[in-house]
Structure 1
Amino acid sequence: MVKLLSNSFTTAASIILLHLLSSVSRVNAVALTTPIAANERLCFFADVDKAGEKIGFYYAVQSGGSFEISFDIKDPNDKILLDGQSERQGDYVLTANTVGEYAFCFTNEESTVTQKLVDFDIMVENEPRREASARPGQIADHTSELEESIVRLNGMLHSIKRTQRYFHTRENRGFSIVKSTQIKILWFGVLESLAIVGMAIGQVYILQTFFTRTGRLYKV
């Protein structure tokens, strides 16, 4: 009898855990990396099906110039909800009060030559409220404990994700700086070699003209 009750409780707890995992949050996410040419404006769109949903927007310039770019977010009525000028990265959470298509646009006006590589993430999230258990008692208590554990794990996962994004951005920017420095060193070496060759040719020419008088070349 005890074994039967134990198996029933384990089964019920498993069902509750699966229900919580499937109903804690519903997230539609788009993570992309895109190049943006100089003086180019590039927009991406996300649909919101229900008013009050949360919209998460993250971006970071991975390479190009001083790692700066401008952005703006517009609602379905073309109202600007958020914008920024010459920023390197950002992480924002907005509340969608209007159902429809939201626009996320990047503008590379800071550079007339350099292309920017932008890593961004758009998330549309809806977190429904947990319904009260129809059978109060021990099952409800365990449901609350499981929900709290899942929320803590979700927060830890988001913290790990933010840390990974930070190191990913630092790695890409460091690689971009190293690559840019290597190109500058290469061109500096080429220009230095051309300068040395030019100085050698100039010295030969000066010596030749120095020993040339009235159209005659004196041999030394």
Structure 2
Amino acid sequence: MPTMLHVMTLLPLLFLALLPCIHGAALTTVLAPQERSCFYAWVDKAGEKVGFYFAVQSGGSFDIDYHIASPSDKVVLEGQKERQLDVVFTGNEVGEYAFCFENDMSNFNEKMIDFDITVESEPRLDAPLSGAALLTEHSAPLEDSIQKLDGQLTQVQRTQRYFRVWENRGFSTVRSTQSKLLWYSIIESLVVIGLSLGQVHLVRRMFEKGSTRRYRV
């Protein structure tokens, strides 16, 4: 009984110790034409995992230029006319990383971007557990379950992001199609009205010319 009591007491502490330390930010930003915007994340230890995700939700062709710079101003990643990105890289330098978006290719359309930045430390067992040695065989299944749950939650999150992006793009396509149909209908109506007026004018001229003719008997 005392052993089981110690196990049940130490399991919550072990669970907290196994959880990775994650700092994240989920944001939405709007970039005007010819605008550049940067966001920053701090890495306090070399070797930490840095995750970066973004998706262009609206504007133009749904693309944007981006680049990631290290604290020493070295380019970590960069790309042009990207619609969506989901990457994880290792922060080898301690300091502030810059994540920048550039809307230079657009002169009229503003872009709405959904993105998040995560800084994740590797899981490490540093809690002061005096009886941790007793939990070796009990902690292994718990650690596996936590890792599987984390992977499943990450997959669900990516699936939700995927559907959200395509929902916004589909809505934009429908709205653009509706606008085109409206203008096509207006132009078609104007053409029909113009042809009708032209036909009426032509017929009137033909009858007016015919009525002014004189014939000898």
Q: Taking structure 2 as the reference length, what is the TM-score of the superposition?
A: 0.84
Equivalent residue for 1:16, pick from 2, 14, 17: 14
Q: Which amino acid aligns with 1:178?
A: V
| DSSP-derived class of the 2:40 partner | strand
User: What are the residue-to-residue correspondences of 1:1-220 with 2, within 5 Å?
Assistant: 2=1, 5-17=3-15, 19-20=16-17, 23-131=18-126, 134-135=130-131, 137-211=133-207
Cα distance in structure 2, aligned partners of 1:55 and 1:70: 19
Q: Which amino acid aligns with 1:34?
A: T
| DSSP-derived class of the 2:54 partner | strand
Structure 1: state its 5+ residue gaps: none
Cα distance in structure 1, aligned partners of 2:95 and 2:141: 37
Look up the match of 2:215: none
| DSSP-derived class of the 2:33 partner | coil
The percent of aligned pairs where both chains have the same amino acid is: 48
Cα distance in structure 1, aligned partners of 2:88 and 2:60: 27
Deviates more, 1:63-72 or 1:85-94: 63-72
Deviates more, 1:7-16 or 1:67-76: 7-16
| DSSP-derived class of the 1:147 partner | helix
Deviation at 1:73, TM superposition (A): 0.9
Structure 2: state its 5+ residue gaps: 213-217
Cα distance in structure 1, aligned partners of 2:27 and 2:33: 19
Cα distance in structure 2, aligned partners of 1:47 and 1:209: 82
The alignment yields a C-alpha RMSD, in angstroms, of 2.5
Deviation at 1:201, TM superposition (A): 2.6
Deviating 4+ runs (over 6 angstroms) = none
Q: Cα distance 1:14–1:73, how it changes in 2: closer, same or farther (>3 A)?
A: closer
Answer yes or no: is the 8 Å Cα contact 1:68–1:110 preserved in 2.
no
1:154-179 deviations in Å (ceiling 9; x for gaps): 11111111111111111111111111
Q: How many residues align?
A: 211
Q: Which amino acid aligns with 2:23?
A: N
Answer yes or no: is the 8 Å Cα contact 1:24–1:127 preserved in 2.
no
Q: Which amino acid aligns with 1:27?
A: I
